[in-house]
Structure 1
Amino acid sequence: MILYHDAIARLRAVAARLPSERCAVGDALGRVLAAPVTSLIALPSFDHAAMDGYALAAPEPLEAGSEHVVHGSQAAGDAARRAEGGAWEIMTGARLPDGLDAVVAVERTELLDAAPDGTPRRIRLRDELGEGQNVRHAGVDVASGAIVLTAGTRLQPAQLMLLAAIGVPEVQVQRRPRVVVIGTGKELVVDPRQPLVDGQIYASNGPYLAAALALAGAQVLSCEVVDDTAVTYADALRRAQRAGADLVVSTGAVSMGRYDFVPEALRQLGASELFHKVAMRPGKPLLAATLPDGPLVMALPGTPMAVAAGMRFFVAPVLRTLLGQGDEPVVHALLDTPQQPKAGLRHFLRATFFVDAEGHLRARVMPQQQPFRILPFAQSDGWVVLDEDAGDCAAGRLVEVASLDAGTALPLHPLA
């Protein structure tokens, strides 16, 4: 039996970073940058008005009560124009006419004269106006030539907004890891419309893994169920190889029972075992191996929470390595419920999170932690992780926590 950190080290040693490819920004949601992005323009690209009002030249402060002739009007999208003093009516986002350097809000002026069509001719300032006031200067957000996004960044809507704003049409991203999911068990029914007969259950591990893998940045090539024989499992692995899978995640048949054929099937295929059994709860029988010429196989126990823990804490770090990302940041919270974990095992516990009256993040471990229970998992916010040497954990202890799924953030609830 191997310790968690040793198991992760062995997985990362065989999980090489995938090649990169070009991707249109419009198709890049959730993709991981393979190279930094440099802006070729300044943002904003010109000095412009922060509000509707009047643009003036104010190298020296203009006094409250001073009067100014309005020489023209500048709207958003108008080309650069030269102003020779005076005031110019200006709209939010409009480029400042050359020679002007300040904007007064329209409500802080008094209109003294206007043309019959309402065009302002003369205004009076209600307040003093200084240089740069209400002006957004070129490059104040992004300087031309600046690196705006680094390699390893997962592109979310905020990053796509930035890329669109600086005029980037496509980016270099990591190829998505190609993953095949294999469930084992003659009792599994894939079609939820099919009534169950005695001894059958609906397959839930496959749909969970397909969704969790996609959230973590993978491309799921297939998700199938095979019966309880080494032959059908080996056939599924061969199909995964032909499909070009980088990773196979299977569930079930990996422990020590009569029908736990996965270890022997992998040996028959010439696989090199990385480890089998990890000092953890749930999911101890987890196995990892590499087939000749690939792919990496991660065989998880079939119990639902063993699958969930294996996905979150073993498969997800492998995907980060394939995608060229570093370690996931470690987050801590104060334990709200005392725990007495078994010594020598790393425990992954489902929990809810809230912020207490002092603003501290607190973790409340769910009362039902049996690995077959799915409802508490669906009601939880994430995981509490207690290491092998945690010992008795009193309420108030600082512990490691993680979001429920890779690629998601911790939900924070107000004080209950």
Structure 2
Amino acid sequence: MIAYHAAIDRILASLTVLPSHPCAVADACGRVLAEPVISPLALPSFDHAAMDGYALHASIPLAEGSEHRVCGSQAAGDAGSAADGCAWEIMTGARIPSGLDTVVPVERTELIEALPDGKPGRIRLCGEVSAGQNIRYAGTDMALGARVLAAGECIGAPQIMMLSALGVARVEVIRRPRVALICTGKELQADPSQPLGDGQIYSSNGPYLVAALGRAGADVFSCETVDDTAITYVQALQRAVSAGADLVVSTGAVSMGRYDFVPDALRRFGAALLCHKVAMRPGKPLLAARVPDGPMILALPGTPMAVAAGARFFAAPMLRAMTGQGREPVLHAALATAQSPKAGFRHFLRANLQIDDGGRLQAYVNQQQQPFRIQPFVAADVWVVLGEDAGDCAVGSMVEIASLELSSPLQIGVHSPGSAP
């Protein structure tokens, strides 16, 4: 048996970053950058008005009550204009006419003369005006040549906004990891439209992994259900290898029972075992291996929470490594329910989050932690992670927490401690 950190370090050390390819920014949400993006222009690219009003020259402050002739009007999108030494009506986002250096809001002026076409002809200031007011200067958001995004950064909607504002049409992204799933067990009914036979259960691990790994950025291109024999497992594995899988995740048949054929089948297939049996709960029988010149294999026990924990704390770091992302930052919360975990094991517990009156994040570990139970997982907000040497954890202890999703920020749920299963 191997400790969690030793196991994951061994696995990640055997992985390399996948190749990259160009991608349209419009299609890049959820993709990981293969190289940094350097700003091709300043943002804003010109000095412009922060609000509707009048642009003036105020290198020497302009006194309250002073009057100014309005020589023109500048709207957003208009080409640059020369100020000719007088005020200009200006709209939010419009370029500041050359020679002017401040913008006074329209509500801080008084219109004292209108032109026949209705445009302002002369204004009076309702307060003193100095230079530099209400102007957004070129380059204050992003300087020309500055690094906009770093390699290994995942592109989300905010990044799409920035790239689009800079006129960046394409970026270089890491190829999505290609993942194949193999679910073992003659008891599994993979088609939910069909009735269950005697002794059968509907397959839930496969659909869960398709969804979880897909949301984490993987290209899950197959999900097969096979019986409890090595030959069907190896055939499915061979299909995954031939299809160019980067990672094969299987569920079930990985422990020590008479039908747990996966370890021997992988050895006969020529895969090099990296670890088997990790000091963790749930999911101790987990196995990782590598096919020479082929994919990584992550073989998980078939119990639902063992699959969920294996996906979150093994598959997710593997996907990050394949796409050039660094290790996930560790987050913490205060424990609201005392725990006494078994020594020597890393425990992954389903929990709910609340914010106490002092604004501190509190983690309430759900009472029902049996690995076959799915409903507490549905009702949870986070995983609470207790290390192998955590010992007795009193209320108020700071503990590690991780999101339920494989690659998303924590969401504080609405479950109350009393309603947590």
Compute the displacement of 1:406 (Å).
1.8
* Shift in alpha-carbon separation, 1:413–1:380, aligned structure 2, 3 A: closer
Mapped contact 2:379–2:415 kept (Cα < 8 A)? no
Aligned residue runs from structure 1 range 166-315, under 5 A:
166-315=166-315
Match of 1:390 in 2: 390
Compute the displacement of 1:293 (Å).
1.9
Deviating more after overlay: 192-201 vs 72-81? 192-201
Aligned counterparts of 1:243 and 1:121: Cα–Cα separation in 2 = 73
Compute the displacement of 1:116 (Å).
2.9
Match of 2:157 in 1: 157
* Shift in alpha-carbon separation, 1:415–1:193, aligned structure 2, 3 A: closer
Aligned counterparts of 2:181 and 2:167: Cα–Cα separation in 1 = 38
Aligned counterparts of 2:132 and 2:116: Cα–Cα separation in 1 = 32
Mapped contact 2:352–2:415 kept (Cα < 8 A)? no
Mapped contact 1:248–1:298 kept (Cα < 8 A)? yes
Q: What is the CA deviation profile of residues 192-244 of structure 1, one whole-angstrom value per residue up to 9, with x for unaligned ones?
A: 11111221111110111111111221111111111111111000110011110
Compute the displacement of 1:70 (Å).
0.4
Mapped contact 1:357–1:415 kept (Cα < 8 A)? no
Compute the displacement of 1:415 (Å).
11
Mapped contact 2:381–2:413 kept (Cα < 8 A)? no
Aligned counterparts of 1:230 and 1:397: Cα–Cα separation in 2 = 46
Pairing 1:365–2:374 present: no
Seq. identity, %: 66
- Match of 2:313, SS state, is helix
Mapped contact 1:355–1:415 kept (Cα < 8 A)? no
Aligned counterparts of 1:163 and 1:387: Cα–Cα separation in 2 = 41
Match of 2:330 in 1: 330
- Match of 1:34, SS state, is coil
Q: Which runs of 4+ in 1 moved over 2 A?
A: 412-416
Aligned AA for 1:352?
N
Q: What is the CA deviation profile of residues 366-386 of structure 1, one whole-angstrom value per residue up to 9, with x for unaligned ones?
A: 111000010110111110000
Aligned counterparts of 1:287 and 1:127: Cα–Cα separation in 2 = 74
Aligned AA for 1:388?
E
Calculate the TM-score normalised by the size of structure 1.
Answer: 0.98
**Structure 2 unaligned blocks of 5 or more:** 417-421
Match of 2:377 in 1: 377
Q: What is the CA deviation profile of residues 59-82 of structure 1, one whole-angstrom value per residue up to 9, with x for unaligned ones?
A: 111111110000000010000111
- Match of 1:238, SS state, is helix
Aligned counterparts of 1:77 and 1:357: Cα–Cα separation in 2 = 49
* Shift in alpha-carbon separation, 1:415–1:211, aligned structure 2, 3 A: closer
Mapped contact 1:180–1:222 kept (Cα < 8 A)? yes
- Match of 1:326, SS state, is coil
Aligned residue runs from structure 1 range 55-204, under 5 A:
55-204=55-204
- Match of 1:118, SS state, is coil
Aligned counterparts of 2:101 and 2:218: Cα–Cα separation in 1 = 50
Aligned counterparts of 1:181 and 1:61: Cα–Cα separation in 2 = 71
Aligned residues: 416
Calculate the TM-score normalised by the size of structure 2.
Answer: 0.97
Aligned counterparts of 1:41 and 1:354: Cα–Cα separation in 2 = 44
Aligned counterparts of 1:2 and 1:385: Cα–Cα separation in 2 = 17
Deviating more after overlay: 187-196 vs 383-392? 187-196
Aligned counterparts of 1:223 and 1:293: Cα–Cα separation in 2 = 22
